[in-house]
Amino acid sequence: MSAKLIDGKVISEFFRVEYKLRVDRLIERGVRPGLAVVIVGNDPASQVYVRNKARACESVGMHSEVHALAATTSQDELVAFIEKLNANPAIHGILVQLPLPKGLDDRAVIEAIHPDKDVDGFHYANMGALVIDESRYPPCTPFGVMKMLEYENVRVEGKHVVIVGRSNIVGKPQAMLMLKAGGTVTVCHSKTDNLPRFTRDADILVAAVGRPCMITGSMIKPGAVVIDVGINRLPDGKLVGDVDFESAKKVASAITPVPGGVGPMTITMLLGNTLHAAELKAGLVESARDTMLA
């Protein structure tokens, strides 16, 4: 058996076509959705991510601005900068690229972003809303995973969803979204004893641990849907996920590749959240996002 490929680029394009129409509708009303991306320091990988985010905004007609601040920026300076963006009516979404350089407090910086503009969904207020099913801004990567499953008509309700990884950015919010969709959720992580015991029982397996190729075909239940959130660069420069694609595709019924799987969806959901922020501001929508699977 060879698994069906879940193509994040194709699914992203599907959503971006709809977003473009919604951006046009806002522009007709005199509102152009705007995203400000803040990057501190010169991490090359972060610079690539930030550039891709800005480019994606432009592809759907949104305004974007990238603010590159020196690695020597102090906590107070960064917070003051964010407060200016909070007050800027042309900016509907603010994203501070993580991780921040040493000496800056990621959590305090995230809390400085106004929750209405927190399109990453990382602010306490938005994380809390996610837990009680009222999220306006579901974090982009786990939300992108839900949208991929929805697009592929993968039913979550009643299924055993096993998530490997417990980060604040992916694992934990992914668990909340899967619960909301009616899944029975197990969250595993680096300390889990006998990991294959859990992964082999998963109908839907989400790998988000940041360890290259650690989930192999023998750890997957035949016919499972496998979502690989990992992006790991090997010493030879090759990009691989957390799943060993070659062995996994022989066992799974469907699988996301790396690159070209979850990655493009993360950026697309960022556009969706920014658009939603602008629509909220313009009074076009109510507050909660539709995070349920159909």
Catalytic residue list contains 47:
no
Q: Which stretch binds ligand GUN (CB under 6 A): 91-99, 158-166, 187-195, 229-237?
A: 91-99
CB of 4 to ligand GUN, least distance (A): 26
Long-range contacts of 57-60 (CB under 8 A, 24+ apart): 57/271, 57/274, 59/16, 60/16, 60/19, 60/20, 60/23, 60/271, 60/275
CB of 259 to ligand GUN, least distance (A): 15
Residue 95 vs 156, nearer CB to ligand GUN: 95
Residue 176 vs 254, nearer CB to ligand GUN: 176
CB of 217 to ligand GUN, least distance (A): 28
Residue 195 vs 231, nearer CB to ligand GUN: 231
Supply 170's token pair: 């992916």
Query: According to the 3-state scheme, what is the secondary structure of 82-135?
Result: HHHHHHCCCCCEEEECCCCCCCCCHHHHHHHCCHHHCCCCCCHHHHHHHHCCCC
Classify 109 in phi/psi space as left (phi over 0), alpha (psi -120 to 50) or beta: alpha
Catalytic residue list contains 120:
yes
Catalytic residue among 116, 118, 120, 228, which?
120
Q: Which stretch binds ligand GUN (CB under 6 A): 90-98, 123-131, 147-155, 210-218?
A: 90-98
Q: Give the 3-state secondary structure percentages of the chain, helix then strand then coil, rounded to 5.
A: 40, 15, 45
CB of 137 to ligand GUN, least distance (A): 11
Kindly identify the residues of this chain, within the stretch 94-133, that bind ligand GUN according to CB under 6 A: 95-98, 120
Catalytic residue list contains 102:
no
CA–CA gap between residue 285 and residue 221 (Å, rounded): 41
Would you tell me which residues interact with ligand GUN (CB under 6 A)?
A: 95-98, 120, 140-141, 169
